[in-house]
Each structure stands twice: as C-alpha cells, then as structure tokens.
C-alpha cells in the first residue's frame, strides 16, 4: 500500500466513524422524540377523560381535581370541537392571534387534522366531541435540534478541516521549497569541483578527449538539475519558445538512453511559440516520458504530438503500456501515489505543480485503458 492509499484509507475510516456517530445520535434522538410524542398523546387522552368526566359530573364529583388536570396541560396545543367541527375551546395556542385573527384557529385546526388522529370524547350517547392536537414546542425542538446541532458541528468540522488542510499544504510547500533549494545548494559544490576536474583532464590528458566530453555532458546535466531545483518556490520567468525545439530536447535526451525496443512517434507543429520556462518545462516532459517508459516496461511505442488552437497549445504524451487502474486516473498527481514498487510518487505531482502553478496551464489524464496505454495532456498558453 503506497502513502496516498494509506492516507485515503485513514480518511475513509474517519468518515465512516463520523457517520456512525451521526446515525447513533439521530436514532437515539428519534427514540426520545417518539417516547415524548407518546407521552403527549397520553396527556391529551387524560385531558379528554377529565373533560368527559366534567360533563358527566354530579354533586359528588370532585370537579376541582378535574379542573386541575385540565389546567396542568400547558404545553400541548389542542383544539376541542363538536361533531360538526365547530371550535369549542383551545389550549396552548396564541390567544392574541385567536382574538385578532378570525382565521387563526380554523387554520390551526386544519393543520392539526393533517397530523395525528383526533381523540373522541363521548359526552352523551351518540354525541361526540373531538380533541385535535399537534406536537408541543418542546417536541418540535427535540425533533429538529439534532439536525441543527449536526449542521453546526459539520460547519465547524468543515472550517477546521479547511484550516488544517491549508496549514498542512502551506507547511508541505515550505518543506518542498526548502528541500529543493537545499538540494540545489548542496549540488553546487561538487558540480564546481567536477567542472574543474573536467578542465584538468582536458589539459593533462588530451588523448582521452572522448571521455572528457562525456564527463562534461554529465556535469552540464547536473547543472541543469541544480537549476531546476533552485527555481522551485520562486515564480519563474516565462518567455516565448518554439514548442517543437523544446520538446525535441527532452525527446532526444530520453531517446538516447533507452533501448531500440522503444519506438518514438513524433508529430509536432512548426513555428508555434509558447510561454514557458525551459528548465522546468523540460523537467515536466522528461517526467512524463519516463513515466511512459515505466508503464511499458521498456518495450512499446511513445507518441508525442502537439497542435495549437484558440490561443493554446495541446501536447499529448501517449504510451502503449499497462494503463492506469480504473478509478485511479485522478490520483496519479497526488504526492505519494505510485503504482510502482519503488519510488516516492512525486514525479507527476511535481509536473502538475510546475504546469499549473508556474505556467498557468493544465495537465491531466486524457484517456487510459488497462493493458492498452495512457495519454497525458498538457495545455499551455501561446505567446
């Protein structure tokens, strides 16, 4: 398991744990709400029984107790009607609105009819009154509070996640830049020394000129690498360059270092000027070409093509390799992601950074199919 997959699995486990907590909280709250709703219905039934007994009371009935039962219901909104839906009484509703708005109680009755079934009160044989009611304000709060609470928690977690992610990315960027500049600095001394040795060999062993030339090429290559690292972290200058010439350098460098089992097919336009920084752009192209070679395991065809359209140049690097596993084409640019057993998984992440942050372009997987190959596309602005 590579670094990116390990981090992704941790995030998934964290998300599943959070969802489990949310589900348990909602289930428990709904159970409490259902229990409170049952208690409120029992309270309404008790109120109905008290009202019925009050209508049937005689001189021996303790009507004070019945009135006390009726008065004790101070939370559940209720409307008492006769058999023809004429409103007789109401409780725990807005009394001012009931006085000032003749439609207030009928509207409340209509709303209650759409909710819980009414409770019947038989005041005489064949004559019924009905109590309609709805959830109390406390029950409504209990039903909606968990969602509000979860919303607030989710917002807090989101803000915290964004803040932490921004901080982490900023720290990673500083580390990335620091390592790159330190690498360039550390390479400076041995490169200077090697350059001096090359000059010494050229003067003292002219018969070994071919060896000296090869050493000089490698030293020059090291200078280019050091220059690339030194540019990480600072905005590089972009200048117009011929895209065919720039791509040709990267292709020639790779082509001379692979076996004849790798075939290069090149289709590049003439006289197309693109805004870019040569050392960094060559770094991107070499990373893409090396990635293609790794995917083909040293045998196959790499096709490099480009065309200009609508003020942009489109560069495609296609290989005939094993392709990218399904569902992972967007992961290949993540630092730490790699399908190889060895490697840090930073090549494509670095390429994306150079293209998008330093050149204002785009890089993405245009198409891929397992065992058929992959095509990467780079989009840059014309000069």
Distance between terminal CA atoms of the chain? 43
pLDDT tens digit sequence for 27-68: 887 787 777 777 777 777 777 776 666 665 555 555 554 445
The SS3 call for residue 1 is: coil
- What's the rounded Cα separation, in Å, for the pair 77 and 3? 59
Q: Residue 357 corresponds to which tokens in the numbers above?
A: 């942050």
DSSP, res 120 = E
Tell which wins on pLDDT, 225 or 368. 368
Other Cβ atoms closer than 10 A to 86: 9
Percent of the chain scoring above 70 in pLDDT: 85
Contact yes or no for 366/375 (Cβ under 8 A):
yes
Distance of CA 185 to the CA centre of its chain: 37
Percent of the chain scoring above 90 in pLDDT: 19
In this predicted structure, the answer to whether residue 123 has a pLDDT above a threshold of 60 is yes
* E strand residue ranges, the chain: 78-81, 87-91, 119-124, 127-133, 239-242, 262-267, 273-276, 300-309, 312-319, 362-369, 373-381
In this predicted structure, the answer to whether residue 287 has a pLDDT above a threshold of 80 is yes
Contact yes or no for 361/377 (Cβ under 8 A):
no
Q: What is the pTM of this model?
A: 0.53
- What's the rounded Cα separation, in Å, for the pair 7 and 43? 54
Our separate counts of H helices and E strands in the chain read 9, 11
C-alpha distances in Å from residue 13, one per residue of 7, 17, 19, 25, 197: 10, 6, 10, 18, 56
Question: Which pLDDT does position 66 carry in this prediction?
Answer: 45
- What's the rounded Cα separation, in Å, for the pair 103 and 112? 14
pLDDT tens digit sequence for 149-178: 778 777 877 887 788 777 777 776 676 667
pLDDT tens digit sequence for 309-350: 999 999 999 999 988 887 777 778 876 666 655 544 567 888
DSSP, res 355 = I
Average pLDDT, the chain: 80
Residue 304: pLDDT band with limits 50, 70, 90: very high
Question: Which pLDDT does position 65 carry in this prediction?
Answer: 44
C-alpha distances in Å from residue 103, one per residue of 168, 313, 383: 59, 70, 72
- φ/ψ of 262, rounded to 5, equals -105, 125
The string of DSSP codes covering 253-284 is HHHTTS-TTEEEEEE--SS-EEEE-HHHHHHH
Other Cβ atoms closer than 10 A to 102: 8
Question: Which pLDDT does position 220 carry in this prediction?
Answer: 82
In this predicted structure, the answer to whether residue 7 has a pLDDT above a threshold of 70 is no
The string of DSSP codes covering 219-244 is HHHHHHHHHHHHHTTS----EEEEHH
**Residues 6+ away with beta carbon under 8 Å from 253:** 282, 286
Question: Which pLDDT does position 8 carry in this prediction?
Answer: 64
Q: What is the mean pLDDT of residues 106-130?
A: 83
């Amino acid at each position: 398991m590579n670094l990116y997959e390990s981090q992704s699995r941790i995030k998934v486990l964290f998300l599943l744990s959070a969802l489990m907590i949310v589900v348990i909280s909602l289930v428990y709250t709904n159970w409490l709400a259902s229990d409170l709703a049952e208690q409120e219905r029992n309270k309404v039934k008790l109120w109905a029984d008290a009202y019925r007994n009050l209508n049937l009371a005689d001189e021996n009935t303790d009507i004070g107790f019945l009135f006390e039962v009726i008065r004790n219901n101070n939370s559940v909104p209720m409307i008492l009607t006769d058999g023809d839906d004429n409103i007789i009484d109401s409780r725990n509703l807005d009394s001012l609105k009931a006085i000032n708005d003749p439609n207030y109680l009928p509207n409340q009755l209509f709303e209650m009819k759409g909710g819980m079934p009414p409770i019947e009160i038989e005041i005489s044989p064949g004559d019924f009154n009905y109590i309609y009611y709805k959830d109390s304000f406390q029950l409504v709060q209990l039903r909606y509070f968990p969602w509000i609470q979860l919303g607030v928690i989710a917002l807090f977690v989101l803000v915290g996640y964004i803040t932490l992610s921004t901080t982490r990315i900023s720290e990673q960027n500083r580390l990335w830049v620091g390592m790159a500049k330190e690498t360039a600095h550390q390479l400076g001394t041995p490169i200077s020394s090697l350059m001096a040795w090359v000059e010494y060999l050229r003067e003292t062993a002219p018969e070994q000129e071919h060896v000296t030339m090869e050493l000089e090429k490698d030293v020059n290559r090291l200078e280019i690498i050091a220059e690339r690292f030194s540019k990480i972290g600072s905005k590089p200058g972009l200048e117009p360059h011929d895209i065919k010439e720039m791509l040709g350098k990267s292709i020639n460098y790779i082509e001379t270092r692979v076996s004849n089992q790798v075939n290069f097919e090149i289709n590049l336009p003439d006289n197309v000027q693109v805004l870019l920084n040569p050392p960094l752009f060559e770094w991107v192209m070499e990373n893409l070409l090396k990635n293609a070679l790794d995917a083909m395991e040293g045998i196959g065809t790499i096709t490099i093509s480009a065309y200009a359209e609508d003020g942009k140049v489109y560069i495609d690097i296609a290989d005939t390799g094993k392709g990218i596993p399904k569902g992972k084409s967007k992961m290949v640019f993540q630092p730490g992601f790699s399908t190889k057993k060895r490697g840090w998984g930073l090549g494509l992440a670095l390429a994306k950074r150079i293209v998008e942050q330093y050149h204002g372009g785009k890089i993405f997987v245009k198409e891929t199919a397992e065992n058929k190959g992959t095509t990467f596309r780079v989009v840059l602005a014309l000069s």
